[in-house]
Amino acid sequence: MIRHLISAADLSRDDALLILDTAGELAQMADRPIRKLPTLRGRTVVNLFYEDSTRTRISFEAAAKRLSADVINFSAKGSSVAKGESLKDTALTLEAMGADAVVIRHQASGAPHRLTGWVRGSVVNAGDGTHEHPTQALLDAFTMRRRLGRLDGLRVAIVGDVLHSRVARSNVLLLHTLGADVTLVAPPTLLPVAVSAWPCEVSYDLSTVLPKTDVVMMLRVQAERMNAAYFPTVREYSRRYGLDAARMALLPDHAIVMHPGPMNRGVEIAAEVADSGRSTIVEQVANGVSVRMAVLYLLLGGADPAGAELGGAELGGAELGGAELGGADPGTAEVLAGRAGGGRASPGQLRVGWLSGEASEAAR
């Protein structure tokens, strides 16, 4: 497993599948009475956000806390950044405080990459300018696989403001790696100049693409990043590239509708579509926690298969079998790991199990 997650292009097919498989195991915690593991106990995760965020920041915070990590939330507003402190000086301050991982969102493309040269811990890109947002692409792929059962050969249409979308870039790269066929649909003014070099197809007509699409992902028009008129009016854009009930009817019966959020209802997506049974928008938010848990676990706690021993050994500081699990006795909760050679468990074999009775013999 890689040390940092800066771009979806950093992930090999095996790396990406490992994250998705691990997220699938961790997702089993969502419906349990105790949704916490001790895997990252004693580790410190810093959320370094220079841009406004709701879903991503809270998702990373929830993911780290469910793995028992200590979380420090940093917002540029109200910090020394407002006094002129540079990104490098902020990074060195965090380094001095012993940050094991830094999750960064920044308005400048390339900021997470620069950060990797200033801190010794792992760096996770939570969105940098118009560049990339790799964990969003991972949670989108995870959602597609859970809903449709596969990624290889899946036909995905990404519709809207591709020019300013870091989500579109990461999804194109990751889905291509995982074997999906991606088509970008947008007006010519909202497509990057070098889009012909991307591993995807391009179309300007949404209605012709929808009947042969398994997944349609709508993108928000990012007016805050626009410094020119990219289309005549919002009404014209919505008429040509918005997904309403009539257009949704063109989709195959099994097709799903996605949106990374936040949505502009009535612009790129109609309210009845966003709230329909085909929509996975709320599901994406829930899956985001599991995927980000998997990323933090693999970067900080599970990159080495030897990091999770069975028998009398420890998993992130918590003994299995007869010892404690994050303060809960084995009769309340137990983490089971699939056995690998030599009594060790690889991250891909992690299974989360909650038992109501005595500790299982399988954990001993």
The catalytic residue positions are 55-56, 83, 105, 133
Q: Is 208 exposed, middle or buried (0-12, 13-18, 19+ CB in 10 A)?
A: exposed
- Look at residue 109 and give its three-state secondary structure: coil
How far is residue 346's CA from residue 310's CA, in Å, rounded to a whole number?
A: 11
Cα distance between residue 276 and residue 270, in whole Å = 10
Q: Identify the sign of the CA torsion 100, 104, 108, 109.
A: positive
End-to-end CA distance of the chain: 28
Say how many C-beta atoms besides its own lie within 10 A of residue 113's C-beta: 15
ω before 262 within 30° of 0 (cis)?
A: yes
- 291, 19 contact by CB (below 8 A): yes
Task: Determine the Cα–Cα distance for residues 303 and 24; give it in Å rounded to an integer.
Answer: 17
Distance between CA 336 and CA 344 in Å, rounded? Answer: 11
Q: How far apart are CA 295 and CA 226, in angstroms?
A: 32
- How many CB atoms neighbour CB 303 within 10 A? 16
Picking from 55, 57, 123, 56, the residue whose alpha carbon sits closest to that of residue 94 is 123
Position 155, amino acid: R
CA dihedral angle for residue 354, residue 357, residue 363, residue 364, rounded to 10 degrees? 160
Number of H helices, E strands in the chain: 11, 13
Amino acid at 80: S
